[in-house]
Amino acid sequence: MKPWKPRLCVAQMRRRQLFSGAVSHDLRTPLATIEAALDGLQSGELVLTPKTEPSCLDSIRLEHLRLKRLVEDLLSTCRGYKRAPRHRLSSCGLRTS
């Protein structure tokens, strides 16, 4: 039974790395958009006019909602892992008739 354990651990670590990478990327995208908009507003490079204000604020709002949804999904996933049943393997004797 022990030979498969190292492979399982390696596979599990790889899945965690892929998951972490995907989550990190998905979280950084809306953060970068929000940061760019705020930096532009603070520096004066982005000036809100009656024409540009709705578009700029909508971008910030949409990215905020996207970020919020991603965090909620992540929390939901983590809670699901905690509630998932744990399987225990044990050896048992087999009787033949």
- Name which of 17, 13, 25 is nearest 70 in CA terms: 25
In a domain, 62, yes or no: yes
In a domain, 55, yes or no: yes
What domain count does the chain have? 1
Reported as a single tens digit per residue, the pLDDT across 44-58 is 999 999 999 999 999
In a domain, 3, yes or no: no
User: Domain range for residue 64?
Assistant: 26-79
- Name which of 50, 26, 46, 23 is nearest 36 in CA terms: 46
Structure letter (DSSP) for residue 86: P
In a domain, 93, yes or no: no
Residues 6+ apart with CB under 8 A from 89: 1
In a domain, 50, yes or no: yes
What percent of the chain shows pLDDT beyond 70?
74
In a domain, 18, yes or no: no
In a domain, 46, yes or no: yes
In a domain, 74, yes or no: yes
How far is residue 38's CA from residue 78's CA, in Å, rounded to a whole number?
31
Residue 64 contacts residue 30 (beta carbons within 8 Å)? yes
Q: What is the reported pLDDT for 6?
A: 66
